[in-house]
């Protein structure tokens, strides 16, 4: 457990200078800005005895009281079977099953994808990162499908840049409640963390731009089968946009109905295709994987009520 308990009186600012609380604390501690923001959001920092936000502008004379703590985590290799779609010296493509967490986090220290990667691969990028080695991007615990894993830092940098530059395309398949009005479309909103529940995201007037493209593949009486392509990769992006449409993903009790028609262990959302450029050869590559069995079974049953394509 790492702790930081301290009282700081701000005194070194220039006349009339103001600075964000999270930026100030990053400059005087060895904690990262994201770690500090998490502590502030959790109420472990006060200014003059009051809870404030990370963007609070401090000034000379402010008394900052810190009661920070975080658990030190590291991942250990575990002999967990992996569905390896592709592998070479630079990266691997993994088909992650529904229910598997990508990397250790509070409350989930073992049985993650990273634990399995450490057992199956001798080398992964970011070896100094004890909980996220090799992880270039993530998908939710209850979302299944393809992930790219970097095996060296050069490949990691290339793949990360492709995602940032929107040249690595991630395609998803989902079953939605009800039917979308249009067969194809593009949605662009801002997505930020909910102010009432920090565990979920929401469409808001502020936050980060999130862009999703969609294409309805099949329509049923009360559902539609849709392909989504991410242009950006915000937390829970497809799930949030599906709720924004008014047609949440089937099985998603966080962003959809608590009373689901089907007995599922999570949302019917599957990352079925990845398009990327090889970090070394420059070759353009496409990888695909089938829908999970439980997803295919539900679609098969729904075809009996299909109304049009």
Give pLDDT tens digits for 26-59.
Answer: 888 877 788 888 889 888 899 999 999 999 999 9
Examine domains 2-70 and 74-165 and report if their fold is the same: no
Give pLDDT tens digits for 97-152.
Answer: 999 999 887 667 789 999 999 999 999 998 667 788 999 999 999 999 999 999 99
Contact status, residue 46 vs residue 64, Cβ threshold 8 Å: yes
pLDDT means over runs of 10, the chain (309 residues): 76 81 85 84 90 92 87 81 97 97 78 95 82 91 97 95 93 97 96 81 90 96 95 94 97 91 93 98 98 96 71
| Per-residue pLDDT at 31 | 79
Matching CATH number, 167-309, of 3.90.550.10, 3.30.2350.10, 3.40.50.300, 2.60.120.1440: 3.30.2350.10
Contact status, residue 239 vs residue 254, Cβ threshold 8 Å: yes
| Per-residue pLDDT at 1 | 44
Contact status, residue 221 vs residue 301, Cβ threshold 8 Å: no
Which CATH superfamily hosts domain 2-70? RNA-binding S4 domain (3.10.290.10)
Contacts 24+ apart (CB under 8 A), 31-36: 31/4, 31/68, 35/70, 36/68
Could you please report the per-residue DSSP string of the chain?
Answer: -EEEEEEEE---PPTT--EEHHHHHHHHSSS-HHHHHHHHHTT-EEETTEE--TT-EE-TT-EEEEEEEE-------------EEEE-SSEEEEEEPTT--SS-BTTB-SSSHHHHHHHH-S--S-TT-SS-TTBS----TT-EEEEEEESSHHHHHHHHHHHHTT-SEEEEEEEEES--SSSEEEEEEEEEE-SS-TTSEEEESSSEEEEEEEEEEEE-SSEEEEEEEESS--TTHHHHHHHHHT-PBTT-TTTS-SS-SS--SS--EEEEEEEEE-TTT--EEEEE-PPPHHHHHHHHHHGGG--B-
Please provide the size of the chain in residues.
Answer: 309
Instruction: Give the C-alpha separation, 139 to 235, whole Å.
Output: 9
Calculate what percentage of the chain has a pLDDT beyond 70. Answer: 94
Contact status, residue 145 vs residue 271, Cβ threshold 8 Å: yes
- Fold type of domain 74-165: Pseudouridine synthase (3.30.2350)
Q: Supply the residues annotated as catalytic.
A: 140
Q: Taking the domains of the chain in order of start, what are their residue ranges?
A: 2-70, 74-165, 167-309
Instruction: Give the C-alpha separation, 100 to 93, whole Å.
Output: 16
């Amino acid at each position: 457990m790492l702790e930081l308990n301290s009282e700081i009186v701000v005194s070194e600012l220039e006349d009339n200078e103001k600075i964000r609380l999270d930026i100030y604390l990053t400059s005087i501690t060895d904690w990262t800005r994201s770690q500090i923001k998490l502590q502030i959001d959790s109420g472990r920092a006060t200014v003059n005895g009051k809870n404030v936000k990370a963007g609070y502008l401090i000034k000379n004379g402010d008394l900052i009281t810190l009661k920070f703590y975080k658990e030190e985590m590291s991942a250990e290799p575990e002999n967990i079977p992996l569905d390896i779609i592709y592998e070479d010296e630079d990266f691997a493509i993994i088909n992650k099953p529904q229910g598997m967490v990508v990397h250790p986090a509070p409350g989930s220290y073992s049985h993650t994808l990273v634990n399995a990667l450490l057992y199956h691969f001798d080398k992964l990028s970011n070896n100094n990162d004890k909980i996220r080695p090799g992880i270039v991007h993530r998908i939710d615990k209850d979302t299944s499908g393809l992930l790219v894993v970097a095996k060296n830092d050069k490949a990691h940098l290339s793949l990360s840049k492709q995602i940032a530059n929107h040249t690595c395309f991630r395609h998803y398949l989902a079953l939605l409640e009800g039917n979308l009005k249009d067969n194809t479309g593009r949605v662009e909103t801002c997505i930020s963390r909910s102010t009432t529940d920090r565990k979920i995201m929401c469409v808001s007037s502020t936050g980060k731009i999130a862009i999703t493209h969609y294409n309805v593949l099949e329509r049923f009486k009360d559902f539609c089968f849709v392909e989504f392509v991410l242009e950006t990769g915000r937390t829970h992006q497809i799930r949030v946009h599906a709720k924004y449409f008014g047609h949440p993903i089937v099985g998603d009790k966080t962003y959809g109905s608590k009373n689901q028609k089907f007995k599922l262990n999570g949302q019917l959302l599957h990352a079925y295709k990845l398009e990327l450029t090889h970090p070394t050869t420059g070759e353009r590559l496409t990888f695909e994987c089938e829908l999970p069995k439980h997803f295919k079974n539900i679609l098969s049953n729904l075809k009996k009520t299909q109304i049009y394509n």
